[in-house]
Structure 1
Amino acid sequence: MMDVVTRQAATTYQIPRAYGAGRQPHRMPPRPRRRFRSFLVLMSSVLVGVVVLALASRLDELDRRSPRIEIPDGIPPGPGAPLPSIDVNAPGRTANLLHDWSAPLSESLAISSTALEAYGYAAAVMAATRPACGLGWTTLAGIGAVESKHGTYGGAHVDSDGQVNPPIRGVPLDGSAGVADIPDTDGGAMDGDATHDRAMGPLQFIPETWARWGVDANGDGVVDPDNIDDAALTAARYLCARGGDLTTEDGWTAALMAYNLSGEYLLDVRERAAAYSVGVRR
């Protein structure tokens, strides 16, 4: 922060030599207007200070009246706002059927409505096809937050059809510090790197995993890691297969560790998912 220097206005003037040689300089009387102006500035500052203090006091009072929402502890995180019943086999982008559910949540959670629809639809599909899994949309949202900020990492955005543009790609998995060593498995066809694999899309799948688990969730005939609908449902299938019963601590932990073998990652996802479960943005 830069320092501000206040200078006192001069009140002593000299007659310039241009007014005549030999004329003596003399002092001009202080200008009353400057003193009055200084008085106004001082009073304005006092009034602003009073207003600020009053506002701060009012906000503090409101804060005491409205206690902050506590983020629940424990694993697994809560399931969040219940999903309405929809026909998961409806044609086209079936996730659109969840718009009335996602719209009110979007602003409060700072997640696009399209991304929420994708998470909710994936959870609904698993509830219909693998009810014993018990996967909540909040877990998918927690992963999406950590992996790509819900498809917005690096200036990307999610289109209304679920497509993420520009495509999100991770660093080369070349074995450098903190990075796994995974030589290319797809000839660069999916991730654009013919030397090493890179994680792809809003849920950050590597090509080998996507080739096995990828699914078309929006009915466009393309299995695309850069589409958040396809990515969310693929993640849901993978988590349920690896964790079994995700309503238990052991099952949820096993699923998340299979997704990313990192305790720090698991806790990061859990914290975000738990926040979403009580309507708090992260």
Structure 2
Amino acid sequence: MQKIVVSATVVVLLGLVGCGIERPPIPEGIPPGPGTPVPAIDLDAPGRTAVQLRDWADGQADRLGIPPIALEAYGYAAAVMARARPGCGVAWTTIAGIASVESRHGTHRGAVVGADGSVYPPIVGIPLDGSPGVALIVDTDGGALDGDPVHDRAVGPLQFIPETWARWGVDANGDGVVDPQSIDDAALTAARYLCVSGGDLTSAQGWQRAVLTYNQSNSYLRTVRDRAAGYSIGRAV
């Protein structure tokens, strides 16, 4: 997916929440736990179906340090994949772990996730121009998604490069637009990509394969694992 350096540029370690308060240790092992079960919703409802998860998200967003709108998107993506690819088992905690590393859940550099799931201002990574430590990816979309007609850049809260988005992007909020700057579209696209890449994400091998396909870095995998595992027990990391 050629995202190694791009992802590294947006890693921002979250500060500890509730300093001075003893919290349970982050569980070991792979895959990380699935977290609070996503309640059954009507996946075929019109419009932004993820809004049905509002109570579920509001009940844990503060202690997880995740914007409720983003958490709704992660839960919805996991629910959709549970029906579309029941053998995959991608959990919302894994999607959240990746989104945390990639963009702090759509809040990188002061961005905000709006009520409709749109991230503003748009999140755009560095040019993949082949400079030291950076992959070289010549422009594939005429700058349509990343504003760069020379080199590709990763875009959106889940940091997809344009050529990958063109192949895997999906409209998750029913607005008729496949938008990498939509937390809904980006979360479901990431879930689809992970399932295809890893197969059975309830197995250690499948989970590791999926995350390493998303970003070919062992340190990235460990960070995603730690954050997802923290979310699985109801704590921010």
Task: Give me the TM-score of the superposition, normalised by structure 2.
Answer: 0.90
1:107 lines up with 2:84 in the alignment: no
From the two aligned structures, give the one with the greater helix fraction. 1
- Please, which of 173, 186, 201 is the counterpart of residue 218 of structure 1? 173
Q: Confirm or deny that 1:181 pairs with 2:139.
A: no
Query: Is 1:144–2:99 an aligned residue pair?
Result: yes
Whole-angstrom CA distance in 2 between matches of 1:254 and 1:90: 33
The counterpart of 2:219, out of the listed 264, 271, 275, is 264
Give the 3-state SS of the residue equivalent to 2:131 in structure 1: coil
What's the counterpart of residue 16 of structure 2? none
Deviations 1:168-223 (A, max 9, x none): 00000011122111110001111100110000000000000000000000000000
Alpha-carbon displacement from aligned partner over 1:120-175 (angstroms, at most 9, x marks no partner): 00000000111110000000000000000000001100001000000000000011
Q: Which runs of 5+ in 1 are unaligned?
A: 1-62
User: Counterpart amino acid of 1:101?
Assistant: W
Q: Which residue of 2 aligns with 1:169?
A: 124
Which letter does structure 2 place at the counterpart of 1:205?
A: F
Q: How many residues align?
A: 218
Structure 2 segments unaligned to the other structure (5+ residues): 1-19
Which segment is superposed worse, 82-91 or 115-124? 82-91
Measure the CA separation in 2 of the matches of 1:145 and 1:79. 16
Distance 2:203 2:192 in 1: 17
Give the corresponding residue for 2:24: 69
Displaced runs of 4+ in structure 1, greater than 6 A?
A: none
Cα separation, 2, equivalents of 1:98 and 1:177? 43
Matched, 1:190 2:190: no
**CA offsets per residue over residues 83-133 of structure 1, 9 Å max, x none?**
101111111000000001000111111111000000000000000111110
The aligned counterpart of 1:129 is 84
**CA 1:87–1:261: 2 relative to 1, 3 Å:** same
Superposition RMSD in Å = 1.0
Matched to 2:77, the amino acid is A
Match of 1:202 in 2: 157
Distance in 2 of aligned mates of 1:69 and 1:93: 35
CA distance in 1, matches of 2:92, 2:144: 30
Give the structure 2 partner of residue 30 of structure 1.
none
Quote the Cα distance in structure 2 between the aligned partners of 1:225 and 1:129: 21
TM-score (norm 1): 0.76
